Structure 1
Amino acid sequence: MKTIIYAILYLAAVTACKQDKAKGKLAVEENNVPENIINPVLPGDRPDPTVIQIGEEFYASTTSNEWAPLFPIYKSTDLQEWELVNYVFPDGAPDWAKNNFWAPELAYDEAQGKIYVYYTARDKSSNRLSVAVASASSPSGIFEDHGPLVAQEFGSIDAYEVRDDDGEIYVLWKEDGNSKGLPTPIWAQQINEQRTRLMGQPVELFRNDRPWEKNLVEGVSVFKENGYFYATYSAGACCDKACNYQTGVARSKELLGPWEKYPGNPILADNDDWHCAGHGTVVKNGADYFMLYHAYNAEGSVYVGREGVLEKMVWTDDQWPVFENEATYSREKGMIDFKDTFEDGLDPLWQWRVTQDIKFDTGENGLLLRASEENQNMGSLLVQSTKSTNYELESTINMDSTDAKGGLLLVGAANNGFGAPIAGMGIAVHGGGLELFEIRDQKEAILSRQEMGLSRKISIKMRVTDGHRLGFAFKKEGQPWESFDDEADASHLVPWGMGFRLGMFAKGQEDQAVNFVHTTITNR
Structure 2
Amino acid sequence: VRGHFRPEFLNRLDEIVLFLSGGDRVRLSADGLSTVGTPEHVYDPWHYPSDWVVEGFSPEGPKIVRHGGYFYLITAVGGTAGPPTGHMVIAARARSIHGPWEDCPANPLVRTRDRSERWWSRGHASLVEGPAGDWWALYHGYENGYWTLGRQTLLDPVAWTADGWFKMMGGDLSRPLAKPKGGSAMPHGMALSDDFQAPALGTRWSFFRPRPNETDRLSVANGTLTLTASGTAPVDSAPLLLIAGDTAYRFDCEIEIDPGTTAGLLLFYDDTLYCGLGFDQERFVTHQYGQERGRPHNPHGHRMRLRVTNDRHIVTFDTSGDGGRTWARFDRGMEVSGYHHNVRGGFLMLRPGLYAAGTGNARFRDFRFTAL
CA root-mean-square deviation: 3.0
Q: Aligned residue for 2:280?
A: 430
5+ residue gaps, structure 2: 178-184
Question: What is the aligned counterpart of 2:358 among 500, 508, 518?
Answer: 508
Aligned length: 345
Query: Measured at CA, do residues 207 and 431 of structure 1 come closer, stay the same or move farther in structure 2, by a change above 3 Å?
Result: farther
Structure with more of its chain in strand, by fraction? 1
Question: What is the aligned counterpart of 2:199 among 333, 341, 345?
Answer: 345
Shift of 1:236: 1.0
Question: What is the aligned counterpart of 1:465 among 300, 311, 318?
Answer: 311
Output the TM-score relative to the length of structure 1. 0.60
Query: Measured at CA, do residues 378 and 444 of structure 1 come closer, stay the same or move farther in structure 2, by a change above 3 Å?
Result: farther
Check conservation: 2:210, 2:238, Cα contact below 8 A: no
CA deviation string 1:204-262 (max 9, x = no partner): 23244513584211111111122211111111121346562111111111112111211
Q: Aligned residue for 1:6?
A: none
Alignment of 1:121-200 (within 5 A): 168-174=15-21, 185-200=22-37
Query: Measured at CA, do residues 409 and 275 of structure 1 come closer, stay the same or move farther in structure 2, by a change above 3 Å?
Result: same
Shift of 1:189: 2.0
The 4+ residue runs of structure 1 with deviation greater than 6 A are 331-334
CA deviation string 1:360-411 (max 9, x = no partner): 2221251111222278735231002221110112111124x46411110011
Query: Measured at CA, do residues 297 and 491 of structure 1 come closer, stay the same or move farther in structure 2, by a change above 3 Å?
Result: closer
Check conservation: 1:203, 1:256, Cα contact below 8 A: no
Q: Aligned residue for 2:181?
A: none
Q: Distance in 1 between matches of 2:222 and 2:138?
A: 39
Structure 2 residue 333 is matched with structure 1 residue 522 = no
Shift of 1:338: 1.1
Q: Which moved more, 1:281-290 or 1:321-330?
A: 321-330
Shift of 1:313: 1.4
Q: Aligned residue for 2:180?
A: none
Q: Distance in 2 between matches of 1:397 and 1:383?
A: 16
Check conservation: 2:249, 2:370, Cα contact below 8 A: yes
Q: Distance in 1 between matches of 2:106 and 2:254?
A: 55
Residue type of the alignment partner of 1:351 = S
Check conservation: 1:297, 1:307, Cα contact below 8 A: yes
5+ residue gaps, structure 1: 1-104, 114-162, 175-184, 414-420
Q: Distance in 2 between matches of 1:407 and 1:376?
A: 9
Q: Distance in 1 between matches of 2:281 and 2:118?
A: 45
Check conservation: 1:237, 1:243, Cα contact below 8 A: no
Q: Aligned residue for 1:387?
A: 245
Q: Aligned residue for 1:78?
A: none
Query: Measured at CA, do residues 197 and 513 of structure 1 come closer, stay the same or move farther in structure 2, by a change above 3 Å?
Result: same
Check conservation: 2:230, 2:358, Cα contact below 8 A: yes
Check conservation: 1:334, 1:522, Cα contact below 8 A: no
Return the index of the structure with the highest Cα Rg. Answer: 2
Query: Measured at CA, do residues 222 and 337 of structure 1 come closer, stay the same or move farther in structure 2, by a change above 3 Å?
Result: same
Q: Distance in 2 between matches of 1:450 and 1:520?
A: 26
Q: Aligned residue for 2:320?
A: 475
Residue type of the alignment partner of 1:343 = Q
State the SS of the aligned residue for 1:385. Answer: coil
Residue type of the alignment partner of 1:323 = M
Q: Aligned residue for 1:278?
A: 123
Q: Distance in 2 between matches of 1:107 and 1:320?
A: 29
State the SS of the aligned residue for 1:206. Answer: coil
Residue type of the alignment partner of 2:29 = N
State the SS of the aligned residue for 2:153. Answer: strand
Q: Distance in 1 between matches of 2:237 and 2:83?
A: 28
Residue type of the alignment partner of 1:515 = R
Output the TM-score relative to the length of structure 2. 0.82
Check conservation: 1:191, 1:199, Cα contact below 8 A: yes
Residue type of the alignment partner of 1:520 = R
Q: Aligned residue for 1:354?
A: 209
Give aligned-pair identity as a percent.
19
Question: What is the aligned counterpart of 2:142 among 296, 300, 303?
Answer: 296
Query: Measured at CA, do residues 374 and 244 of structure 1 come closer, stay the same or move farther in structure 2, by a change above 3 Å?
Result: farther
Question: What is the aligned counterpart of 2:269 among 393, 404, 412?
Answer: 412
State the SS of the aligned residue for 2:338. Answer: helix
Check conservation: 1:276, 1:296, Cα contact below 8 A: yes
Structure 2 residue 361 is matched with structure 1 residue 499 = no
State the SS of the aligned residue for 2:330. Answer: strand
State the SS of the aligned residue for 1:210. Answer: coil
Query: Measured at CA, do residues 463 and 377 of structure 1 come closer, stay the same or move farther in structure 2, by a change above 3 Å?
Result: same
Q: Aligned residue for 2:182?
A: none
Query: Measured at CA, do residues 520 and 364 of structure 1 come closer, stay the same or move farther in structure 2, by a change above 3 Å?
Result: same
